A and B are shown apart, each in its own frame.
Chain A
Amino acid sequence: MLSYILRRIIWLIPVFIAVSLITFTLMHLTPGGPWDTLNAKTVSPAIRENIKKKYNLDKPLPQQYIEYMAAAVRGDLGPAFSSNKSVSQIITEGFPLTAALGLAALGIAIFIGIPLGVLAALRHNSIIDQTSMFIVTLGISVPSFVLSLTMIVLFSVAFRILPYQYQRDSWQSWLMPAAILALGPTALLLRLTRAATLEVLNEDYIRTARAKGLPTFVVNSRHVLRNALIPVITLLGPLTASLITGSFVVESIFGVPGIGRTFITSVTKRDYSLLMGTTLFYTLIIVAFNLLVDLTYSFIDPRITRV
């Protein structure tokens, strides 16, 4: 087990090198630089050279990359080009907000998706089942910006009951972004829980449990639920990772100052260090949660052993 964990962690090193190298190369291939918007008349070439020097852009690209990575390993992601803060500072400021919103959405998704999924499977082909499957299709095929704008038109324009802009200390302004963020994950959880429960219900051990006269409630909670939730837990890892890294769309529409929005601005402003920093941060979260899931998976289901 320990060697498995170690191997997995060591494997992360080439992943990080590859992701950072691809991002770095593509970023510098991208036409346009961070200082293109400076006025050519007022900013002399000498000043430009100084700016380049300050942000370490005057050296050859391979050297820039190695120096950047060497600093990044020590936790120093460098200064952001487009603001006075450092990249680490921007991430540590934006991330808690993004993560809080994501966790709120995850909470909604878990409390609606999983129970409804179990219920839909237990009452297979009933109205509840059909309604849930409709929610699933809706959640998967309606893009979040379409949903966001439709909800803004409904709740902010027509009924005027919810604010359309995020405000730090108004809980009402959290409702729409959290609900919209939750819809996709709710659909995924619902569909998976339903499918897993349906499969478990057909197992022989369920028939045995029923045949020996156990009350339905005991069969459902102890035998069905425990087995059906194993695949659901696997999904929770990547789901949490994607939720707490935020949504570019929802954050831009509702003006949430989280890292999802930061990422978009870093691309449009060609803020190299901010783009590299956020990409590495995203990758770290995604791989960490995938690893976590793989490990918990082998704990809950003893049939899966990894040597």
Chain B
Amino acid sequence: MATFQPARNIVSLKETSSEAITTPRQLAIKRYRKNRLAVAGLVVVLFFLGVALLADFISPFDYRYQASDGTIDAPPGHVDVKTGRVNTLGTDDLGRDILTRLIYGTRVSLMVGVVANLVVVAIGVPLGLIAGFFGGVVDNLIMRFTDIMYAFPDLLLVIIITATFGRSLWVVFIALGVASWVTMARLVRGQVLQTKQMDYVLGARSIGARSMRLMAQHIFPNILGPIMVLVTLGIPAAIIAEATLTFLGLGVEPSTPTWGTMVDAARPGIFSRPGEVLIPALAIAALSLAFTFVGDGVRDGFDPRTK
């Protein structure tokens, strides 16, 4: 006769039951913390956020300040004659401190990630909700419209909008959002189509809840997970798009301190001073990598199946 071994089963039962008590949000946070790259990504993002917020206090120079003695392209460690401060990373082709402009560039990259995605949410979520919820003619109209926007080359749309409304920061941010809401609208519509079949929606409907209330109170909170995932993955995409446009000379104006303009300005000197190109370029890569890791962590947190 085999000996009876209940102990192991009891322990595992205990574990599962204690896990069942935790809320989905706690579970998501727990899964996020298990992903080491996601935690590291979050640390890097927080670091850049700190730099952006404290830019006025930690920058050695004003970002417009040009070396008073007319020195341009100074090597790292150059001492400014007038202020006596050190250009830790040297100066650019107009005699401006590279470290300072790098610090201020952090602001632009973080802002574009947030603002462009706010625009994506503001356009994509309502359209997707309405299309999925009402169906029929409304759905058809909205989805045909997104089809047209999908066929329209993204970059072209951004370029045309910035050429029309000027190349200020806000125009670029909003243009990037306008160019990329289609994916969000499609995702939300698909999620709504599934969610509106749920019994709790039927229940709310049968006690007389109106469409607006059904959408806002019952459907929207339940599709928040996938929306969050798409937003966190959209942030690095927006950062890259802004930097690329600016680098091509089609984004924000060259006087604005952004990483894209810095790379563009330093490019002619790539053979003599490659560092001047690489430093802002690697900053872009680092920030977008960090956000991608955060996005992966959020996705694992909300939807462990995709792992």
Contact = CB atoms under 8 A, between A and B. Distances in A.
Interface of A: 14-15, 18-19, 22-23, 26-27, 29-31, 137-138, 140-146, 149-150, 152-153, 157-158, 195, 248-249, 252, 263-264, 267-268, 279, 282-283, 286-287
B274 interface: yes
Contacts of A145: 243-244, 247-248, 263, 281
Q: How big is chain B's contact interface, by range?
A: 35 or more
B210 to A, nearest CB: 34
B152 A146 contact: no
Contacts of A30: 160, 163-164
Given A141-B240, A143-B284, A149-B277, A268 B249 contact: yes
Nearest to A195: B306
B163 A143 contact: no
Overall SS of chain B's interface: helix
Nearest to B264: A145
Given A26-B164, A143-B285, A146-B243, 10 more contacts: A14-B148, A18-B148, A22-B152, A31-B164, A138-B289, A143-B240, A143-B244, A145-B248, A153-B274, A287-B151
Contacts of B33: none
Nearest to A153: B274
A150 B244 CA distance: 15
Interface string B159-182: 111011000000000000000000
Interface of B: 144, 147-148, 151-153, 155-156, 159-161, 163-164, 236, 240, 243-244, 247-250, 263, 267, 270-271, 274, 277-278, 281-282, 284-285, 288-289, 291-293, 296, 306
B240 to A, nearest CB: 4
Contact of B292 (A31, A140, A279): A140
Contact of B288 (A141, A248, A252, A268): A141
Contacts of B151: 15, 19, 283, 286-287
Contacts of A146: 243, 263, 281-282, 284-285
Contacts of A286: 151, 153
A262 to B, nearest CB: 13
Contacts of A27: 160
Contact of A279 (B144, B147, B153, B296): B153
Contacts of A264: 248, 250
A23 B247 CA distance: 23
21 contacts: A14-B148, A19-B148, A26-B160, A26-B164, A30-B160, A31-B163, A31-B164, A138-B289, A141-B285, A141-B292, A143-B244, A146-B243, A146-B281, A150-B281, A153-B274, A157-B270, A248-B155, A248-B248, A249-B244, A267-B159, A279-B156
A122 B4 CA distance: 38
A157 B306 CA distance: 42
Looking at B144, B153, B159, B284, which has the most chain A CB atoms within 10 Å of its CB? Answer: B153
B292 A137 contact: yes
Contacts of B278: 149-150, 153
Contact of B289 (A19, A137, A144, A287): A137
Nearest to A286: B151
Nearest to A270: B163
A238 B159 CA distance: 21
B291 to A, nearest CB: 7
Contacts of A249: 244, 247-248
A29 B306 CA distance: 45
A248 to B, nearest CB: 6
Contact of B277 (A143, A144, A153): A153
A141 B148 contact: no
Contacts of A14: 144, 148
A233 to B, nearest CB: 19
A248 B250 CA distance: 11
Contacts of A150: 278, 281-282
Contacts of A248: 155, 248
Nearest to A18: B148
A65 B48 CA distance: 48
A292 to B, nearest CB: 14
A283 B247 CA distance: 25
A157 B160 contact: no
Contacts of B274: 153, 157-158
Nearest to B163: A30
Nearest to B155: A248
Ranked nearest first, the 9 interchain pairs of A and B with the lowest CB-CB distance are: A141-B292, A26-B160, A146-B281, A143-B240, A153-B274, A141-B288, A18-B148, A30-B163, A141-B289
